[in-house]
Amino acid sequence: MPTKKRNIFTRILIWRYKHISERQFVLVLSILVGFLAGLGTVILKYLTLFIQSILEDGIIKNYHYSLYFIFPIIGVWLVYLIKKNFIKKEIGHGISTTLYSISKRSGIIERYKMFASMITAPITVGFGGSAGLQGPAVSTGAALGSNVAQLFHMNTKTRMLLIGCATAGAMSSMFKAPVAAIVFAIEIFSLDLVFASLVPLLLASVAAVITSYFFRGTDVLFGFELQEAWRVKDIAFYVLLAVGTGIASVYFSKMYFFITRFFNRFSNAYWKIGIAALAIGLMLYFIPPLYGEGYDVINNLLNGNTVEALSGLQYDIDMTKVWTVIGMLMIIVVFKAIAMATTFAAGGVGGVFIPTLFMGSALGNVFAKIINQFGFNVSESNFTLIGMTGLMAGVLHAPLTAIFLIAEITGGYDLFVPLMLVATISYGFTKYFVPNSIYTAELAKRGELITKDKDKNALMMLKIEKVLETNFVVLHPEMTLGEMLKKGVSKSSRNLFPVLDDEDQFLGIVLLDDVRSIMFDQSMYDNTTVSLFMKSSPGIIFYEDSMETIMQKFKGTGAWNLPVIKDKKYVGFISKSKLLTAYRNKLIEVTNT
């Protein structure tokens, strides 16, 4: 920042400190962040629509669906080239990377993430990648929220709150569902539901949805009005749907993890992208409804236009044969998870949120058609909506978001009871088989997942380098007692000495108390070596250990100091007293409102 601009900004900050309280300023920033997140979401959507209009109106219009094979391949290669040559950093998946930034970086998100997803996600989805834009919208908004907080020197607690505001803003702008947006931010990011944090979330959500209305008018992603109320006699069918969506959620999650692990085995990026891109192209060529986000398919199913929903299929399908239609819809259900995971494996940038809605709508429609084939009469539109709820609750582990989003989409709460029933059962079923969602699985595996437990969160947010102590004098096993006293004891303020070999590998420790009784016996200075006094450490900390693991090691060993090993080499010690002090300070920082 130039000196003149810096001085002006400094004056603004000083004026703010004098005239606006901290709480009032947070409210102002929440409105700003909501507006920016909403604007970012609008830009994402318009860029995607612009790319789609160029390809579909100008090219596919003449060559029909034959180019569905090549477009996704072009898209993922363009994204790869942009990331490699321009961004030059890893973008990651929106919500997962945001959660990581909250848990391990105190809510500090790099500046490049304000625009990285905004460039690459429209290319991925616009060229047909089978993914959504909600994740990139959250990533973009969260980066904006974090950097606004950094710009105005806000503390960690406020920075995380503004990230939550940006998340709510992105959701509110995308779906025009401000209430569900707030629930989403609280449920996914484990924000504290207190008045001090709820008001900024409300302001951000409203600011974002107004921004969306201003730029996009009254257009909504799901053009649907509820026509039929739910019936008590259909409860058993909703329970079956809930179990079905639970099974589908487990399948969706497991397939995502499997495909991700499979492609992670490729060490050559060109082979990885090439094979994944080819697989996407083939899937979209044979099953065109998987192309892009798939809102047209969802809306057609919601409005009972199954013929239009399946119009992209290049097969001679007799739409009067219901079981044939059911079979085609099930193919779409099965391959949606595969297409989405493969898009990500190829390096595409997108989100999981919309694909769950797509898969849930198709599955719910299938359930209704099957039930009606056996002589019953249930609403296909209602089952399509509630199928979306079941998949969202199961795959994302976000039952409340699923309930309120669908309730807002329908313009009321007439389906609230079946929404609650299906979301609860689907979530519980999926949670049993898949303990962590796609967003949180890797973070949970590494012990980096933020939860409602403030004590655990504070411990997790500590960084090992903040508590690592390196002012220990190193000894070697062949050193004599005289050398140890001259080069070690006399120059150290510690009563513990690490013993290393010539390659800095940790061998053990020497305690000052163990040599105190003989340290003045000069007859032993030349014929006694460090190896005689060396003992094993009661425990060892590895650099990649989580803070929770480190705390457990101190508890289990009863030690006050433990050595830290990184890449098989000694790097220092962690003391229990310093760890507890750092933990207490972090807990105060996290819980301070």
Pair (7, 59) in one structural domain = yes
Pair (530, 587) in one structural domain = yes
User: What single letter denotes the amino acid at residue 252?
Assistant: F
Give the count of alpha carbons within 13 A of 276, CB side only: 31
Pair (438, 485) in one structural domain = no
* Averaged pLDDT, 473-493: 85
Pair (439, 510) in one structural domain = no
Tell me how far apart the alpha carbons of residues 430 and 251 are, in angstroms, rounded to a whole number. 9
Quote the pLDDT of residue 4.
58
Given 216, 242, 269, which residue is the final one in a domain?
Answer: 216
pLDDT in tens, 168-203: 999 999 988 899 999 998 888 766 555 567 889 999
**CB-CB contact of 576 with 559 (8 Å):** yes
- Short-list 170, 186, 176, CA closest to 121: 170
**Is the residue at 223 inside a domain?**
no
User: How many domains does one find in the chain?
Assistant: 3
Residue 323: Cβ within 10 Å count: 10
Given 422, 440, 455, which residue is the final one in a domain?
Answer: 455
Please report the DSSP string for 419-467 in residue order.
Answer: HHHHHHHHHHHHHHH-SS-TTTHHHHHTT----S-HHHHHHHH--HHHH
Pair (448, 571) in one structural domain = no
CA angle in degrees (0–180, nearest 5) for 175-124-388:
35
Q: Which of 64-73, 352-361, 499-508, 552-561 shows the lowest mean pLDDT across its residues?
A: 64-73
The CATH number linked to 583 is: 3.10.580.10
Tokens standing for 100? 């990581």
DSSP-derived secondary structure letter, 288: G
Tell me how far apart the alpha carbons of residues 384 and 416 are, in angstroms, rounded to a whole number. 15
User: What single letter denotes the amino acid at residue 580?
Assistant: L
Tell me how far apart the alpha carbons of residues 387 and 153 are, in angstroms, rounded to a whole number. 44
**Is the residue at 227 inside a domain?**
no
Tell me how far apart the alpha carbons of residues 593 and 584 are, in angstroms, rounded to a whole number. 16
Pair (206, 351) in one structural domain = no
Pair (237, 271) in one structural domain = yes
**Is the residue at 528 inside a domain?**
yes
Quote the pLDDT of residue 229.
79
Pair (528, 547) in one structural domain = yes
When the pLDDT of each residue in the chain is averaged and rounded to a whole number, the result is 85
**Is the residue at 224 inside a domain?**
no
- Short-list 216, 194, 224, CA closest to 295: 224
**CB-CB contact of 178 with 209 (8 Å):** yes
Label residue 515 by pLDDT band (50, 70, 90).
confident
Pair (445, 467) in one structural domain = no
Tokens standing for 278? 């080819």
Residue 323: domain span:
232-455
How far CA 75 is from CA of 126, 241, 373, in Å, comes to 8, 36, 41
**Is the residue at 268 inside a domain?**
yes
pLDDT in tens, 84-100: 888 888 787 777 777 77
Quote the pLDDT of residue 356.
94
pLDDT in tens, 331-389: 999 999 999 999 999 888 988 989 999 999 999 999 999 999 998 889 899 999 999 99
How far CA 485 is from CA of 355, 520, 521, 536, in Å, comes to 67, 10, 11, 20
Pair (381, 473) in one structural domain = no
Pair (379, 508) in one structural domain = no
Tokens standing for 391? 């998949």
Whether 311 shows a pLDDT value over 80: the answer reads no
Please report the DSSP string for 100-117 in residue order.
Answer: HHHHHSTT---GGGGTHH
**Is the residue at 225 inside a domain?**
no
Cβ neighbors of 284 (< 8 A, separation 6 or more) are 68, 69, 71, 72, 128, 130, 290, 291, 339
Given 216, 248, 278, which residue is the final one in a domain?
Answer: 216
* Averaged pLDDT, 526-530: 83
Pair (312, 424) in one structural domain = yes
**Is the residue at 572 inside a domain?**
yes
**Is the residue at 436 inside a domain?**
yes
User: What single letter denotes the amino acid at residue 406?
Assistant: I
Phi-psi region of 64 (alpha: psi -120 to 50; beta: other; left: phi over 0): left
